[in-house]
């Protein structure tokens, strides 16, 4: 019993607050659905409730898989302090897995039953079984000693969508609910067995090491690498090896995952590239590319945010100060350390998009067709995308493509670096809570726009929006000036660094303003034609949004956070 108390403490007691809040929210929302009915609830309440349920399920899964899990680790992430407990391995593994499955199954059945009582025709069994299977798969991935760094992350991205796609396919084909639930239970049972084997190997130290056998022959000594020319160069190398490689590797994985389903594409969709204006001839590309390539690009931008915020762990209670003590003894100032992270992020961004473009050259060899808009005629003569691109290539098209690539790279870099201030703070809840809060705010604004279109129309007056945007720009610049002045007084920034940063910010602002004006020209002209704004007002709005979008305050805030964390200022 004493040994089982250790499992109960690790799994439930130390997470009692977040478990109480999460399970309480599920209970309250379920009772509300059953008592009032989903048809009588306001749309905003339903939207927030569904969003909260999604977060609650994610929190439950994170807690029930022992949230001290590092996605980059190669060994088992099962708590190693439990290996010495006087318990058999099946007891040590199956008890927490069974408790986790029971918690999710009970919560899921309560929600589906409450939703059905509230008047919505939903399945009762397979959604809770899907949540249980997802938990079991994640427990297997993170508790099994795979032996390859970041293999857990890759397997998570492959297996979880695979399970969801398989369930969707069975639903589309009319498979019965009992068959779907039985299949998910079988997956869960298989994960139980694999996890027992994996934790047993980790407990005995039988960890797989992926090193091929090499002949024992004398080899020449490796040439010693030259020393770094400066501490800044050494720090740049460290940042690149430690964090910079992650984004290009994830971009490569996203592209490979994007290309695999393209094998089954057999339809074509026209795009806006005109090949012959006189005959209204347009290029048709595979429908899969037209639909999912923007999704893949958007996913890269989201991945940049996650990497920038340092979301590498799912723990919320460890008390880890998110600070590598190695930084504390580096012969560099706080601003120099932040600058090297900025340089590493720039290199990582350029490598990521360079890799995406190099791999994307394969898409130019995909089949394409032509479509005449005037006669609604599709020419099935086989072409490649590259051949038709050459026909429709013009100076305007080249400028559009170059500006688009520059904008995507800028968006990725911006998303990468805005989270540095949270990563360098001294609290994990800041690092995890900031992106979650931003997502909640964006979702709330989107739901408000859908549910209150009249209010949005009344607020969509261009002069009012322009005034709000420029007020925020002024506030941002004032805060940045105050932070820079404070850093200068504290010796964190030199006058040379400040002037150089101002010049860089001005150049970046000018370039991105030109790109923004180039892309928004049709919308600005439409505003002027509809007499919603003058040309000057429309241009001022775009310039203000661009200046508001370029980060400077959070970069300066990263220096403050690092200084506070580095010297443990209270």
| pLDDT per residue as tens digits for the range 302-314 | 888 878 876 544 4
Q: pLDDT by residue (tens digit) across 496-554?
A: 888 888 898 888 888 888 888 888 887 788 777 877 778 888 888 888 888 888 888 88
Residue 444 has pLDDT above 90, yes or no: no
Residue 195 has pLDDT above 50, yes or no: yes
Residue 271 has pLDDT above 90, yes or no: no
CB 552 within 8 A of CB 505: yes
Domain ranges of the chain: 2-204, 230-453, 460-570
Q: pLDDT by residue (tens digit) across 370-426?
A: 877 767 777 777 888 888 888 777 777 787 788 888 888 888 998 888 878 777 776
Q: pLDDT by residue (tens digit) across 34-93?
A: 888 777 777 777 777 777 787 788 888 878 877 666 666 777 878 777 777 777 888 888
H/E stretch holding 381 reads strand 377-384
Query: Which carries the bigger pLDDT value, residue 199 or residue 277?
Result: 199
- pLDDT, residue 201, reads 86
Q: Tell me the mean pLDDT in the region 240-268.
A: 81
Cα–Cα distance, 7 to 71 (Å, whole number):
22
* Residue 466 CB contacts under 8 Å (≥ 6 apart), including other chains: 533, 537, 540, 541, 544
- pLDDT, residue 314, reads 40
* Residue 223 CB contacts under 8 Å (≥ 6 apart), including other chains: none
Cα–Cα distance, 95 to 84 (Å, whole number):
16
State the pLDDT confidence band at 187, using cuts at 50, 70 and 90.
very high
Please state the length of the chain. Answer: 570
pTM, entire model: 0.71
The token pair that represents 251 in the structure block? 């971009």
Helix (H, G, I), strand (E, B) or coil at 435: helix
* Residue whose entry in the numeric block shows the structure tokens 């390539």: 293
Strand partners, 377: 372
* Residue whose entry in the numeric block shows the structure tokens 């000693």: 145
**511-522 burial, b for 16+ CB within 10 Å, e for fewer?**
ebbebbeeebee
CB 469 within 8 A of CB 543: no
In the predicted model, what is the mean pLDDT of the chain? 80
CB 311 within 8 A of CB 411: no
Residue 474 has pLDDT above 90, yes or no: yes
- pLDDT, residue 211, reads 52
Percent of the chain with pLDDT over 90: 7
Q: pLDDT by residue (tens digit) across 209-232?
A: 555 555 555 566 667 778 888 888
Strand partners, 70: 313
> How many alpha carbons lie under 13 Å from residue 247 in its C-beta half-sphere?
34
User: How many other CB atoms are there within 10 angstroms of residue 308's CB atom?
Assistant: 26
State the pLDDT confidence band at 321, using cuts at 50, 70 and 90.
very low
Q: pLDDT by residue (tens digit) across 350-372?
A: 999 999 999 888 888 888 888 77
Q: pLDDT by residue (tens digit) across 131-146?
A: 999 999 988 988 888 8
CB 379 within 8 A of CB 370: yes
CA 242 to chain CA centroid, Å, is 19
Cα–Cα distance, 337 to 235 (Å, whole number):
7
* Residue whose entry in the numeric block shows the structure tokens 């590319």: 289
CB 97 within 8 A of CB 28: no
Query: Which carries the bigger pLDDT value, residue 322 or residue 425?
Result: 425
CA proximity to 301, closest of 419, 400, 207, 390:
419
Q: What share of the chain is helix, strand, coil (3-state, %, to 5)?
A: 70, 5, 25
- pLDDT, residue 190, reads 93
The angle at the Cα of 252, spanning 250 to 257, to the nearest 5 degrees, equals 95
């Amino acid at each position: 019993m004493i040994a089982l108390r250790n499992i109960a403490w690790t799994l439930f007691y130390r997470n009692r607050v977040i478990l109480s809040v999460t399970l309480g929210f599920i209970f309250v929302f379920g009772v509300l659905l059953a008592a009032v009915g989903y048809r009588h609830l306001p749309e905003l309440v339903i939207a927030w409730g569904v969003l909260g349920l999604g977060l609650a399920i994610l929190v439950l899964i994170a807690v029930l898989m022992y949230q001290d899990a590092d996605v980059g680790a190669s060994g088992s992430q099962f708590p190693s302090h439990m290996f010495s407990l006087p318990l058999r391995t099946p007891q040590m593994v199956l008890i927490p897995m069974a408790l986790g499955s029971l918690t999710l199954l009970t919560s899921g059945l309560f929600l589906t039953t409450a939703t059905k009582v509230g008047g919505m025709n939903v399945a009762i069994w397979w959604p809770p079984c899907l949540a249980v299977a997802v938990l079991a798969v994640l427990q297997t991935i993170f508790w099994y000693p795979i032996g390859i760094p970041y293999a857990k992350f890759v397997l998570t991205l492959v297996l979880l969508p695979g399970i969801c796609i398989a369930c969707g396919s069975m639903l589309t084909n009319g498979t019965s609910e009992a068959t779907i639930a039985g299949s998910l239970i079988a997956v869960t049972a298989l994960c139980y067995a694999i996890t027992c084997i994996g934790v047993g190997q980790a407990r005995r130290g039988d960890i797989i090491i992926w090193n091929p056998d090499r002949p024992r022959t004398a080899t020449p000594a490796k040439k010693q690498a030259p020393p770094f020319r400066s501490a800044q160069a050494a720090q740049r190398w460290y940042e690149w090896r430690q964090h910079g490689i992650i984004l290009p590797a994830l971009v490569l994985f996203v592209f490979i995952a994007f290309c695999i389903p393209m094998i089954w594409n057999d339809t074509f969709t026209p795009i806006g590239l005109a090949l012959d204006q006189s005959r209204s001839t347009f290029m048709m590309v595979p429908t899969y590319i037209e639909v999912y390539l923007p999704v893949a690009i958007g996913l890269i931008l989201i991945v940049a945010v996650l990497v920038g915020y340092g979301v590498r762990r799912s723990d919320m209670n460890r008390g880890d100060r998110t600070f590598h003590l190695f930084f504390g003894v580096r012969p560099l100032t706080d601003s120099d350390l932040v600058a090297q992270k900025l340089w590493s992020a720039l290199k990582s961004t350029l490598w990521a998009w360079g890799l995406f473009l190099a791999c994307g050259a394969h898409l130019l060899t995909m089949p394409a067709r032509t479509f005449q808009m005037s006669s609604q005629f599709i020419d099935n003569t086989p072409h490649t995308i590259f051949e038709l691109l050459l026909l429709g290539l013009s100076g305007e098209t080249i400028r559009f493509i170059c500006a688009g690539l520059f904008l995507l790279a800028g968006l990725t870099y911006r998303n990468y670096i805005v989270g540095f201030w949270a990563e360098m703070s001294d609290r994990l809840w800041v690092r995890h809570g900031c992106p979650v809060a931003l997502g909640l705010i964006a979702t709330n604004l989107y739901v408000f726009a859908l549910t209150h279109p009249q209010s949005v129309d009344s607020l969509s007056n261009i002069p009012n929006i322009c005034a709000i945007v420029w007020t925020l720009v002024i506030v941002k610049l004032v805060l940045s000036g105050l932070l820079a002045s404070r850093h200068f007084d504290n010796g964190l920034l030199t006058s040379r660094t400040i002037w150089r940063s101002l010049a860089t910010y001005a150049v970046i602002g000018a370039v991105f303003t030109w790109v923004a004006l180039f892309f928004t020209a049709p919308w600005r002209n439409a505003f002027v034609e509809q007499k919603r704004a003058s040309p000057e007002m429309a241009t001022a709005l775009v310039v203000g949004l661009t200046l508001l979008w370029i980060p400077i305050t959070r970069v300066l805030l990263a220096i403050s956070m690092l200084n506070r964390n580095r010297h443990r200022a209270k």
